[in-house]
Structure 1
């Protein structure tokens, strides 16, 4: 067995992962990797091989290098990419690329969180070209509508050319199918010129199944006795692991100019340390003067307020989505079951207190979860009618526009945009898109076959015939997900104008009210089909009345007569859709002096 090289003194603890240009010595790079299970690690740099020194499992070398040189680590005789690479020469299995030092020059002070209207998109399927440059060309239209933030689905490089991004293995390297790092910076710069913040969906709870080589030389990176639904659990109690993810998360903000992070499935980021990694990340990001606000969002199935109380801005609020979805579709399977019992009651609770599940017993045999959230302001909740998850995890990727009565879509759309929570649209929702968003990937060999057969097996259990199930590895599946494909221009125009009207009202009348400070909503239900919420500010109140004729056994309610109570019935709405006395679906938004 090869002998370990001699130790190198005075390394920072822990050292910087990957390649780092030394700040005071131009042209000099420090290369580092933590490989505690390796006997010998050497640096391969542009066809030259260099011995590395070792200390406490860290292998390090300081040497001269030039931008865009290929490099990798030769670990016990096998060449592997840098797990902290900022770019690759090609796919995830080959050499990494040494990027030049980032030079961010921004004339951009950011936007406050209360102003945020999020537009979630997937770079590869948002446009026909599927590139950063093509996405940038769409931004003026979004800015004109009133969108103030785009949230990019994960960009970390994964195996193959196509994918949602949640199977990334090189967390700090932008996926090359969408363009170059310089083109990503140009997209963000264009967004900033238009007054749009850019948020990155970042996955730190697992690595993808193809191209993750860390277990072969760094077993201590993972927990030996725990698995996530997507692979080996990561040991966030190890300081080297914390440094890896802290460096990656802050690097996206520093190197590219992102204005915030949406952290995927944080309930799978388990850390027994006295100071949880997520709290550490929040505090560290807040301690840096970025010259602009940095927004931090979580996805967390636990419905706990702790992270928001500790400084995170908001959390995805799936409870709101589920209540709306069940009210309009009548679906009652799986996680929809408890929300299908009284969806408008759950909607009322969500408007009043944010989360529906707050630790109380729930119907349909659901396990209680969560804790009280009514003390949090509305801006701590990201509400949505559609997301990549809720559309894409369906068997056929159908949008709510294909499942719910057509008359209901404008009603819930405007309600989402006018309520004081942080609204989020999924790409195409602003025009009422009916295009599917299916799961797609680009794996090969046995892994591709396993995914293909696994989907057929799972979807067959709910009655989907095999010939209706798309092969997620097929190249044309991603093309089907282009949100503007096959849309009716007339319908798209109407929905786009409604989006503009609602967001104009939000910006000019509702946002000042939000900034003044709002009390929690007072919510009433004058009948079984109608919910009325009042949020009071210093001198004005926001009132939203919404009528949704719930589905029962797939059929709409027949009784459509609703009378709004006084004094609302005598007020003139700032925005209205439908007639409460004649239509099954109706909305009225009022801004009135406080009583």
Structure 2
């Protein structure tokens, strides 16, 4: 099976030979296609424009592998913004790619959303090689752990050798340092052969600061009236926004069709401003689901404002399957560490009550925008959300990497409590996510790194010092140092060491319990019927209810002292053990050891 996504821009091979090249450049007076030649001087081909500013030319002798750029107004050479491959980075030429050269297995149709166990990874630091090919060799270990879906941090081409990927400038071209387009396709195909889904993190709210030439020839890409944290907002609703919307919607469909990705995670959609009658997120979902042709394809949002109007409890055109639940991470972090600075501020009062609400209702602060300094502007609470539409995690790239020294939560809590946040994320009705290395308790940090140069490098260094310059500022990691990049690579050899091996065994056992007890029951969850009770200062009893009268219960002690509690909710005969942490075998139901958790499933008792 061969897959190609056709789009109204970029380079397209003709069946009879030659290549059609198209560029939307409404701000240009003259556009030429510049073919790279061995002699050094480019071969120029004039392009013609239509009334909307779409420039086009056909080059009969161009073929797969041809290197080209666009020449704007006789002097500026730029890459193709819809380039499928930029082998030397965004400041170099684009390469014509024939996607039909790759042969896909036809049988894979994906996996249903309730089976999802996400594993977020950064390709550049997942392996010593930092390539798609090397990542493919590590997938079997994830399957053995119980992971069902790999989520790649953004791979869109960006300037420099290393970076997080959120400053991409060529959204259609995989980052050159990771490998070729076919290398990425081989990674996806290898995952599918192992039964793994592959999700891709995509960024549709801004372009990076280095290698973005769109301002020079396509200014309508950017709003004249709206701003974002990165400058002018992407223009999704103003004059000239039609081609801009198509550029990003086609990008989403491209990854699903041409690369056979099983899902997309849209970064920071709270920074996408669109007042159109049909929001771009709705249109994107409709187009992606139409293009999926019966495959299981999942769409996930990151929304810092906790908006929920794009979520649906089951796959629907125009809606999204899931959303990252920052509230879960934040309230668990505060409960385990006591930190209340910056965006943890809102979780410092009645923390255990907030944790109870999160476990039973999903988000804590629904639809609440952030104020300057990180605190939330809380508005009227929304109804309980379907828990299966939320993604819970104890670690991710933001929550670890945005700390000054990149410490994982497991390094900030008492030794006896280190595994507990991870196990809590894995064993709720919400969709769980691990951050690479978390499955064995990797102690290595994940730091902010970006291979910037010149003034931009100095500006980023100065910005980090301003943000984190309090206290021991002298040892802040240099964000533009290759050493900082290397320090962020977890060492899988640690998984064989005693404590880390025990951690990995716990994660495997927890995911096995999830497959047996939780995943098969997701469709029966009763939204709005779950409950929780405080037990002492640091304990919670949580009940998740199902249509058949069964109830999944969690007995949780986040304190350093044991709790003695009378069991009240499950019958002693019907209750079945699901999983326990730090609870000795045969321990009475009413004894909760320090930093312990016990899950059981049984019939509810009406008191």
TM-score by length of 2: 0.90
* Aligned-residue RMSD, C-alpha: 2.2
Residues 450-508 of structure 1 show CA distances to partners (whole Å, capped at 9, x for unaligned) of 11122122211x32322x11111111111111122684711111111111111111111
The corresponding residue for 1:53 is: 48
Aligned to 1:306, what secondary structure does the other structure show?
coil
Report the CA distance between 1:519 and its aligned residue. 4.1
Aligned to 2:63, what secondary structure does the other structure show?
coil
Report the CA distance between 1:224 and its aligned residue. 2.3
Question: 2:342·2:374 contact (CA, 8 Å) conserved in 1?
Answer: no
Give yes or no for the alignment of 1:503 onto 2:511: yes
The corresponding residue for 1:72 is: 69
Matches within 5 A, 1:117-266: 117-237=117-237, 238-266=241-269
Q: Could you tell me how far apart the structure 2 residues matched to 1:152 and 1:388 are?
A: 11
Report the CA distance between 1:375 and its aligned residue. 4.4
The corresponding residue for 1:490 is: 498
Aligned to 1:162, what secondary structure does the other structure show?
coil
Q: Could you tell me how far apart the structure 1 residues matched to 2:120 and 2:360 are?
A: 25
Question: 1:547·1:586 contact (CA, 8 Å) conserved in 2?
Answer: yes
Q: 2:96 aligns with which of 91, 95, 98?
A: 98
The corresponding residue for 2:315 is: none
The corresponding residue for 1:9 is: none
Report the CA distance between 1:420 and its aligned residue. 0.7
Matches within 5 A, 1:427-442: 427-442=436-451
Give yes or no for the alignment of 1:33 onto 2:23: yes
Q: Which moves more between the two structures, 309-318 or 422-431?
A: 309-318
Q: Could you tell me how far apart the structure 1 residues matched to 2:367 and 2:297 are?
A: 31
Q: Could you tell me how far apart the structure 2 residues matched to 1:428 and 1:347 are?
A: 25
Aligned to 1:159, what secondary structure does the other structure show?
coil
Q: Could you tell me how far apart the structure 1 residues matched to 2:472 and 2:416 are?
A: 28
Question: 2:557·2:563 contact (CA, 8 Å) conserved in 1?
Answer: no
Question: 1:21·1:28 contact (CA, 8 Å) conserved in 2?
Answer: yes
Q: Could you tell me how far apart the structure 1 residues matched to 2:300 and 2:16 are?
A: 37
Q: Could you tell me how far apart the structure 1 residues matched to 2:346 and 2:554 are?
A: 25
Question: 2:308·2:367 contact (CA, 8 Å) conserved in 1?
Answer: no
User: For residues 569 and 529 of structure 1, do their structure 2 counterparts lie closer, same or farther at Cα, with a shift above 3 Å needed?
Assistant: farther
Give yes or no for the alignment of 1:475 onto 2:482: yes
Q: Could you tell me how far apart the structure 2 residues matched to 1:365 and 1:137 are?
A: 40
The corresponding residue for 1:554 is: none
Aligned to 2:556, what secondary structure does the other structure show?
strand
Give yes or no for the alignment of 1:16 onto 2:8: yes
The corresponding residue for 1:421 is: 430
Q: 2:410 aligns with which of 384, 390, 401?
A: 401
The corresponding residue for 1:538 is: 547
Equivalent residues, number: 570
Question: 1:526·1:565 contact (CA, 8 Å) conserved in 2?
Answer: no
Question: 1:359·1:368 contact (CA, 8 Å) conserved in 2?
Answer: no
Q: Which moves more between the two structures, 199-208 or 540-549?
A: 540-549
Report the CA distance between 1:63 and its aligned residue. 3.0
Question: 2:342·2:375 contact (CA, 8 Å) conserved in 1?
Answer: no
Residues 245-283 of structure 1 show CA distances to partners (whole Å, capped at 9, x for unaligned) of 112111111121111100000011111111111100001
Q: Which consecutive unaligned segments of at least 5 residues does structure 1 have?
A: 1-13, 550-556
Report the CA distance between 1:566 and its aligned residue. 2.7
Matches within 5 A, 1:292-371: 292-309=295-312, 310-358=318-366, 366-369=375-378
User: For residues 473 and 568 of structure 1, do their structure 2 counterparts lie closer, same or farther at Cα, with a shift above 3 Å needed?
Assistant: same
Report the CA distance between 1:21 and its aligned residue. 2.9
Q: Could you tell me how far apart the structure 2 residues matched to 1:127 and 1:312 are?
A: 31
Question: 2:104·2:189 contact (CA, 8 Å) conserved in 1?
Answer: no
The corresponding residue for 1:553 is: none
User: For residues 358 and 15 of structure 1, do their structure 2 counterparts lie closer, same or farther at Cα, with a shift above 3 Å needed?
Assistant: closer
Q: Could you tell me how far apart the structure 2 residues matched to 1:66 and 1:359 are?
A: 50
Residues 508-544 of structure 1 show CA distances to partners (whole Å, capped at 9, x for unaligned) of 1211111334444222223221112212223322111
Aligned to 2:274, what secondary structure does the other structure show?
coil
Question: 1:198·1:259 contact (CA, 8 Å) conserved in 2?
Answer: yes
User: For residues 15 and 75 of structure 1, do their structure 2 counterparts lie closer, same or farther at Cα, with a shift above 3 Å needed?
Assistant: farther
Report the CA distance between 1:15 and its aligned residue. 7.5
Report the CA distance between 1:194 and its aligned residue. 0.9
Question: 2:368·2:376 contact (CA, 8 Å) conserved in 1?
Answer: no
The corresponding residue for 2:84 is: 86
Matches within 5 A, 1:277-296: 277-296=280-299
Report the CA distance between 1:291 and its aligned residue. 4.4
Q: Could you tell me how far apart the structure 1 residues matched to 2:7 and 2:433 are?
A: 39
Aligned to 1:205, what secondary structure does the other structure show?
coil
User: For residues 538 and 320 of structure 1, do their structure 2 counterparts lie closer, same or farther at Cα, with a shift above 3 Å needed?
Assistant: same
Q: Could you tell me how far apart the structure 2 residues matched to 1:260 and 1:359 are?
A: 24
Residues 367-401 of structure 1 show CA distances to partners (whole Å, capped at 9, x for unaligned) of 43466554432111001111100000000000011
Give yes or no for the alignment of 1:268 onto 2:268: no
Q: Could you tell me how far apart the structure 2 residues matched to 1:268 and 1:104 are?
A: 38
Q: Could you tell me how far apart the structure 2 residues matched to 1:236 and 1:220 are?
A: 10
Aligned to 1:440, what secondary structure does the other structure show?
coil
Q: Which consecutive unaligned segments of at least 5 residues does structure 2 have?
A: 1-5, 37-41, 313-317, 584-589
Report the CA distance between 1:365 and its aligned residue. 10
Report the CA distance between 1:568 and its aligned residue. 4.5
Q: 2:32 aligns with which of 11, 33, 42?
A: 42
Residues 300-356 of structure 1 show CA distances to partners (whole Å, capped at 9, x for unaligned) of 112121111452001100001000000000001011011011221111101111110
The corresponding residue for 2:39 is: none
Aligned to 1:72, what secondary structure does the other structure show?
strand
Report the CA distance between 1:560 and its aligned residue. 3.4
